[in-house]
Amino acid sequence: MKRLVVKWLLLPLSGLYGLVVDIRNWLFDSHLLKSYRPSVYSISVGNLTVGGTGKTPMIEFLIKRYVFSAVNGMGETATLSRGYGRKTNGFRIATGTDSAETIGDEPLQLYRKFGTQVRVCVGERRVDAILSLLRLHPETKRILLDDAFQHRAVRPHLSILLMDYNRPFYDDYAFPAGRLRERRKGARRADVVVVTKCPMNLWATEQERIARRIRRYTSPGVPIFFAGLSYSSPMTLATHQVATDLNPVVLVSGLANADPLEQYVRQTFGLRSHYRFADHYAYTRADLDVLLADLPAETVLLTTEKDWVKLDALLSPEERSTLPLFYLPVAVQFLAGQETEFTQFLDANALKNR
């Protein structure tokens, strides 16, 4: 009841915030503020809400789609994000010497997985970053823009809007009464909507009900797809080998919404406890010492890929090889039959924008 009262009290401020964002969007839509269309094919992945909707797994899906396709050549695909949480400024292309402090946790995760196949870049001024990238690497043919839905200075060739199944934007409000970065009608800029973190057995009738509510805010004809998260087998921090029989586990996560992860770990491995940290939390050695000191006997510590790249940097080689530490890979998994339709949509849009 108290939360509901607070929300209603904050609605006038949400209206004011929404109005300011509306004016900004109108200035871009009216071409009074300039937007830059990259000279190479660009895909934006973003959301309307504050917090995680599965943007990094979607970027990974797109990387795999292009890197493992016949149309991709070495160095032709690049990712670009702001590099949230980094302590550096300006444009950077990730190298083997970078850390979460220099490029951010999610770009570092991408670099460790795909750095030999794609260029992972960060830059808070995305137009300048794209121009720098193309000047340094003119062989680049496509750029994947992470968390760029509100970055109106860049006008991508394809805009993918993600919506968390558990937190639909059509039931939410603009900040501060809600979690929206802009009003719901911002969805009109999307070329396609993907509802993420869905149960894999989501009924077709429920999918259609959700799609009808989304279509109230999108442009006519925008396709809507549904996807869940697929967790792979845990991997060891030391050797990145598949691990088995992890019962029970202590879970450590720094996510915007860790509920789906906790539910999966509880059902699959047996959850002893869950240490929840803020999204993009910058772990310290003191944090790690507490986690290890509190780790019960006969249990293991399990974390996410995003948290692994930060915790791993705090470990000594001996600790990495001897302590029971594991991370859990995650990927986008479209509901039955929809991955083929989604990739066909991607191909058709790329062909249209040649």
Residue 66 confidence class, pLDDT cut points 50, 70, 90: confident
Write the class of the CATH domain 41-73+141-229+334-352. alpha beta
Q: Tell me whether strands 325-328 and 235-236 are parallel, antiparallel or unpaired.
A: antiparallel
The H or E element that residue 239 is part of is none
**Does 105 score more than 90 pLDDT?**
yes
Among the four given CATH numbers 1.20.1070, 1.10.3120, 3.40.1350, 3.40.50, the one describing domain 233-328: 3.40.50
- As a whole number of Å, the CA-based R_g of the chain is 21
Q: What is the mean pLDDT of residues 176-198?
A: 96
One fold for 41-73+141-229+334-352 and 233-328:
yes
Q: What's the pLDDT tens digit per position in 262-274?
A: 999 999 998 999 9
For residue range 110-124, what is the model confidence (pLDDT) as tens digits? 999 998 899 999 999
Question: What is the rounded average pLDDT of the residues 192-199?
Answer: 96
* Residues 192-202: b if buried by 16+ CB within 10 A, e if exposed: bbbbbbbeeeb
Token pair recorded at residue 71: 């149309």
pTM for this model (two decimals): 0.93
Q: How many CB atoms lie within 10 A of CB 22?
A: 15
Weakest mean pLDDT among 1-5, 136-140, 186-190, 209-213: 1-5
Domains of the chain by residue range: 41-73+141-229+334-352, 233-328
Which 8-state DSSP code applies to residue 276? E
Pick the closest to residue 314 from 114, 70, 99 (CA basis). 99
The SS3 call for residue 266 is: helix
Note the pLDDT tens digit of each residue in 226-242.
Answer: 999 999 999 998 888 89
Q: What is the pLDDT of residues 158-175, one digit of tens each?
A: 999 999 999 999 999 998
pLDDT band of 73, cuts 50, 70, 90: low
